[in-house]
Amino acid sequence: MTSGSAAFFDVDNTIVRGASSYHLARELHRRGMFRRRDIVFFAAHAFYYFLFGENKKHIARVRARALATIEGHSVAEMLAVAEELYEQVLTHRIFPGARDLLNDHLAQGDQVWIVTAAPREVGELVARRLNLTGVLGTVAEEQDGVYTGRLVGDMMHGQHKAAAVREIAEREGLDLAECAAYGDSSHDIPMLRTVGEPCAINPDPRLRLFAADIGWPVRDFRRRRRNVRSGLRTAGQAGAVWAVATGLRALSRALLRRLVGHRQG
184 is catalytic: no
For residue 250, the number of C-alpha atoms closer than 13 Å in the C-beta half-sphere is: 11
Query: Are 75 and 264 contacting, i.e. CB atoms less than 8 angstroms apart?
Result: no
Long-range contacts of 244-249 (CB under 8 A, 24+ apart): 244/43, 246/36, 246/39, 246/40, 247/36, 247/40
| Cα three-residue angle 146-163-181, rounded to 5 degrees | 105
| Catalytic residue, candidates 12, 184, 188, 204 | 12
Phi-psi region of 215 (alpha: psi -120 to 50; beta: other; left: phi over 0): left
Distance CA 120, CA 140 (A): 8
Spatial CA neighbour of 155 closest among 72, 28, 59: 59
Q: Which residues contact 61 (CB under 8 A, 6 or more apart)?
A: 45
| Catalytic residue, candidates 10, 184, 188, 204 | 10
**Can you state the angle between helices 120-129 and 20-30, rounded to 10 degrees?**
110
175 is catalytic: no
Quick one: DSSP state of residue 230?
T
Distance CA 126, CA 114 (A): 9
Question: Catalytic residues, which ones?
Answer: 10, 12
